[in-house]
Structure 1
């Protein structure tokens, strides 16, 4: 085939796609109706490319991102394109140390997990009772919650706690301490729920404190986002003013194609893409095309979205709501305070004792991740002083001595505002979201499939 002069590689590919053989190939592929996962360690020098082709389905993009982030993989770049019944996702991923994925067990796990998602099979935590808690955050609240559970002979196996804008949300997975089995007795569950609700109410949260037993938790962190969204934390004013850079979010309508374009500029961190995609998905927006790029500690994310009925965002009020919800989703996981890691033999009342020590030293837990493996407790706490400032190192050291220097270790100390480098690059304004055309998104996806020459 002779090419006309002036055609670039992208245009040549479109001509190739019009040939009968290629049309037949894509027709056969679509008829097979299955999920294809391809790993490529050769195309890019600093990341593994994970390419996914599958039937388009609301939520399947979130499930794919969820699988990658649950493995603590870092997504450096991503290109998402959905057209007709099919979507194509390309992720540039590394482990947390910046290395490519080379272990066959990890690659096999990703592939099998994506197939389970495609066929609608979810993985759930079995053999545990799940509690959901939301309410007003305060110093010592977590200590009171774990003290109640300890007194009621409940063993906390796993838990995650988030705080944002003065609110707290927690999922707690527990079992009976004596029988080592799920708690199923309705009267006992009613007692647990009632006592925890009283703790959450305190003196000033009579209406909004919520406690419930749930039987259907598909993913802990997604559920935490949903709980805080239902609690409308995004509408509340921050109790504390932090010196971290806030995410810059803009929403504009791309009238030529009837898309709404969401542009986000913020500090990069692990699981950032999951938090954003989770929020857009649960707000019933469909992501048709997207581009994610990270450089050093900065992240730029762009999404072309529509409502489930195919219409773009229609009002200024809706735009502002999307902006507030995305800002809240990004900030919820932001780690404020000193990171303390506890590794010790698990025992009845351990969490109650540790968090009581925090409370007695006026330390506030802003985020927590509790887990138990065999008979070992592996817990992570982020703590500040009572008003949200960095905790005094002397107090941290005193707490470590009370709990055990060998058991409780400091992993991170926060930088003060003066120590942080000033941002020299201006944030992208609202108009910047429209500059990227739909054709350029498709072109970048083709780059990442290796169909045209580029890997940048």
Structure 2
């Protein structure tokens, strides 16, 4: 009987969405320094995350947001700019935003179009990795994949609170397609789990294939680390160092008894995709944002949300309150890892990632986060690195890497907080020798 009523509710919700399709207004005149995007739609759990995800995947920066989804209706206003700080004036992008946000399909179920997540495909095999972080771990994983003749096509790697998680797309070197042989997949799983376990992670290290369906890759990373309970170690040692209180996000969870809400306020360092990470975490924890406001300044972001659980009940216990605070702090910190940013662009080849990460390891660098991609035969990789103690990288170490890597271009983005900047240099491009033309490294 319960399922019957739920089916009736679903059909009624679909009817409402057909009668009242989403409406999007994009205005470049109302605000002096940002494009305003207003979205009106019938409300549905997860709709806020899907809208934020579409804007985030376009690499847009959300400077302000006003959220309201009470009374069965969803109305949000976003002030957005591009990464260069300009309004969105490209008509193709504006049309794309309008088309995606006004599509009933997009706002009911996740769309395949435009996602960089876990999409079932005959072209690659997607694997998920979890384990205790340690110096050299990523290098060891890449080496095992190379030895098993797996080519890494795409990957994203996060580390937080001494835990590491990765979503990796690989192909068979011989065929260029997905690996489907169950015996070979089992062998890959066994060897990777051995590497992930090391000597200290015998129980929680694992390699899995993704669940059925389509999940946004970065949302999946949040889910993996949440399931690994990385949030429980917030405030302890991270990368060998203790977070200073001034750099930690400040999260407060209080009651709004007169309106029967739980109120969450957050102050943290501003960074790209911050709003996505917060809304993603609240959604996956089964909370609904009824009202909210987001303001970002030059350095700091302020967020305030009025939430309830999906069953309509606000947070009722101190234990749940503490857990929400820890989980939101973790959501902010996972992608906020500070480190020297290294960008690599070169002709792709089997073993390239293994060789690069080995050189980093041999020069005492720890990879805190990485984004790996290949397109048109070219590898475009971004690494965020520190030394083994979690301290900024010495420029002399970069010089040492330069001596070992030849060919291609390595861009080093110096940041006063992540590494001391060499004199008279802001961005360095290294065009080096014949390293990328060679198949192997010596030594």
* TM over 0.5, shorter chain: yes
Q: TM-score range by the shorter chain?
A: 0.7 to 0.9
Encode CA deviations 1:252-281: one digit per residue, 9 max, x unaligned: 110001000000011111101001101111
Contact 2:339–2:418 (Cα < 8 Å) also in 1: no
Query: How has the CA–CA distance of structure 1 residues 59 and 30 changed in structure 2, closer, same or farther, with 3 Å as cutoff?
Result: closer
Aligned to 1:76: 63
* Number of residue pairs aligned between Structure 1 and Structure 2: 392
Which whole-Å CA distance do the structure 2 matches of 1:67 and 1:314 have between them?
33
Task: Tell me the equivalent position of 1:230.
Answer: 227
Structure 1 segment 233-248 matched on structure 2, within 5 A: 233-236=230-233, 237-239=236-238, 240-243=241-244, 245-248=247-250
Aligned to 1:96: 83
Task: Name the counterpart of 1:445.
Answer: none
1:35-79 Cα deviation digits (max 9, x unpaired): 111101110011111111111111110011011111110000000
The structural deviation recorded for 1:414 is 4.1
Match of 2:36 in 1: 49
1:173 aligned to 169, 177, 187, which one?
169
Kept in 1, the 8 Å contact 2:64–2:293? The answer is: yes
Q: Aligned partners of 2:134 and 2:338: how far apart in 1? A: 15
Q: Once structures 1 and 2 are overlaid, which stretch shifts more, 126-135 or 69-78?
A: 126-135
| Deviation at residue 196 of structure 1 after TM alignment | 0.3
The one of 52, 77, 81 aligned to 1:65: 52
Q: Does the 8 A contact of 1:362 with 1:386 survive in 2?
A: yes
Q: Over aligned residue pairs, what C-alpha RMSD do you find? A: 1.9
Which residues of 2 match residues 208-287 of structure 1 at below 5 A? 208-214=204-210, 215-236=212-233, 237-239=236-238, 240-243=241-244, 245-287=247-289
CA distance, structure 1, for counterparts of residue 177 and residue 16 of structure 2: 47
Structure 1 residue 30: Cα displacement: 7.3
- Structure 2 equivalent of residue 378 of structure 1: 380
Q: Give CA deviations for 1:328-382 in whole Å, capped at 9, x if unaligned.
A: 1000111321100010000010000000001111110000000001100000001
1:242 and 1:259 map into 2 onto residues whose CA distance is: 31
Q: Is the 8 A contact 1:137 1:166 kept in 2?
A: yes
Please state how far the C-alpha of 1:148 moved relative to its aligned partner: 0.8
* TM-score using structure 2 length: 0.85
Q: Deviations over 1:186-228 (max 9, x none)?
A: 1111111111000000011000101112254411110000111
Give 4+ residue runs of structure 1 displaced > 4 Å after superposition: 28-31, 416-419
Distance, in Å, in 1 between the alignment partners of 2:136 and 2:418 is 25
Matches of 1:55 and 1:128 in 2, distance apart? Answer: 37
Which residue number corresponds to residue 12 of structure 1? none
Which of these two proteins has the greater Rg computed from alpha carbons? 1
| CA distance, structure 2, for counterparts of residue 166 and residue 206 of structure 1 | 15
CA–CA distance in 1 between the matches of 2:249 and 2:129? 27
**Aligned counterparts of 2:372 and 2:58: Cα–Cα separation in 1:** 17
Alignment correspondent of 1:454: none
**5+ long unaligned stretches in structure 2:** 1-14, 113-117, 422-443
Using the size of structure 1 for normalisation, the TM-score is: 0.83
